[in-house]
Structure 1
């Protein structure tokens, strides 16, 4: 299957990830994370906001249907 860049990926490229990771480390945000690290949570919440999702279940369902593409987003 060929790889296609998405608009969502282009939006994520605008994020200053080094600064984000610095803040995560500074505030020890990933200290006791079991399954969903801060970056993945941010990506999910951003997707939910931009897609107009009405709840977490809708976000999870939508992201699950794009599981193979999440790898390319870093989530």
Structure 2
């Protein structure tokens, strides 16, 4: 079966990841991170915004249902 990117993946293609990573490094945003990197947190919050999630539980549930595909959008399950 052919692979098709999701609309969410297409939206994330427009994020300037080089600039994002430079800002994370500049501000040491990942310095004391234990599990959820800044990039993964950004992806989760963007998913929540675009999916219309009303709570953190909805975001977690939605991302868990797509856990196998998170790698393709540059995130990892927490």
Residue aligned with 1:63, SS: helix
Structure 1: 5+ residue stretches without partners: none
TM-score under structure 1 length normalisation: 0.96
C-alpha distance in structure 1 between counterparts of 2:74 and 2:24, whole Å: 16
TM-score under structure 2 length normalisation: 0.92
Structure 2: 5+ residue stretches without partners: none
The ranges of structure 1 where at least 4 consecutive aligned residues each deviate by more than 4 angstroms after the TM superposition are none
- Which position in structure 2 is the counterpart of 1:65? 65
CA RMSD of aligned residues (A): 0.9
- Which position in structure 2 is the counterpart of 1:9? 9
Q: How many residues align?
A: 75
